[in-house]
Chain A
Amino acid sequence: AQKVTQAQTEISVVEKEDVTLDCVYETRDTTYYLFWYKQPPSGELVFLIRRNSFDEQNEISGRYSWNFQKSTSSFNFTITASQVVDSAVYFCALNTGGFKTIFGAGTRLFVKA
C-alpha cells in the first residue's frame, strides 16, 4: 500500500528562521514520483517540485531545498530564511503510476514577522 506521512501538523517560526518540513513515504514500487505543493489561503495548490525515484540528488531553488533519501523513505523540504509570504499549508505527495497521486495530510506553516 502507498502512504505519505507528514507528522508535523503545524509549525510556527519567526521570520528569517530556517524550517524543515518532513515527509515520509511508503511504497513497494521501485519507480515512483514525489511532489511538494504549497497551498496559500486562497486555496490553489501550487506545484513546487517533482522527483523521480531514480534521482536522489538534492535540489535547491532559491530559498527552497529538498533532501531526498531513499534509505529512510524521506523527502524533506527546507525553507531557508523564512518569510511571512511562506505561510501556507504544504503537501507532500506520491505517485506510483497511473492517475492516483496520494497526498499527505499537510503541514501548516506560520511565519511570524
Chain B
Amino acid sequence: ETGVTQTPRHLVMGMTNKKSLKCEQHLGHNAMYWYKQSAKKPLELMFVYSLEERVENNSVPSRFSPECPNSSHLFLHLHTLQPEDSALYLCASSQDDRGGGNTIYFGEGSWLTVV
C-alpha cells in the first residue's frame, strides 16, 4: 500500500470545467510536491510545499492553483485547462522541510485528459 494516495486516478474534463486533484500522505513528511509527466517529456516539478508554505513554483500557468491546508494534504485546482495539459500528475512527499537529498515518495498519479 502506497504512503501517498491520490484521487481521482483518472479525470476527463472539458476546457471550461473546474476540478481538483487531491493528495494525501501518510508518512509524516514535511514537504509535498506536484510533478507533471507528459509523453516524451521529462518529469517537471510544478510546486513544492514545505511545512505548508509554498517554496517552489516553477513558472506554472495560473490555471493550475495549488493548495496545502496542512502537511498531510495537497490539492491542485484546475480551471480553464488546455488539451496540452493532458498528462499524468504525480504527487509526492519527502521527510525533511529543507529538501536536500531527501528521498521523494510518489503517489500513483492522476491521469488527466482535457477535451
Contacts and interface: CB of A to CB of B under 8 A. Distances in A.
Interface of A: 31-33, 35, 37, 42-47, 50, 52, 91, 95, 97-101, 103-106
B100 interface: yes
A103 B42 contact: yes
B55 A99 contact: yes
A84 B45 CA distance: 31
Interface string B3-39: 0000000000000000000000000000101000000
A45 B33 contact: no
Contacts of B106: 37, 44-47
Instruction: Pick from B43, B56, B111 the residue with the most CB of A within 10 Å.
Output: B43
B98 to A, nearest CB: 8
B105 interface: yes
A98 B107 contact: no
Interface of B: 2, 31, 33, 42-43, 45, 48, 50, 55-56, 88, 90, 92, 94, 98-109, 111
Contacts of A95: 99-102
Contacts of B2: 44
A52 B55 CA distance: 24
Contact of A50 (B31, B55, B99, B103): B103
16 contacts: A33-B101, A35-B103, A43-B108, A44-B107, A44-B109, A45-B106, A50-B103, A91-B43, A95-B102, A98-B99, A98-B100, A99-B33, A99-B48, A99-B100, A100-B45, A101-B104
Contacts of A42: 108
A100 B100 CA distance: 8
Contacts of B55: 99
Contacts of B94: 99
What are the nearest 7 A-B pairs in CB distance? A99-B99, A33-B101, A43-B109, A45-B106, A44-B108, A103-B43, A99-B48
A22 B109 CA distance: 26
Given A98-B100, A101-B104, 6 more contacts: A31-B101, A32-B101, A44-B109, A99-B48, A99-B56, A99-B94
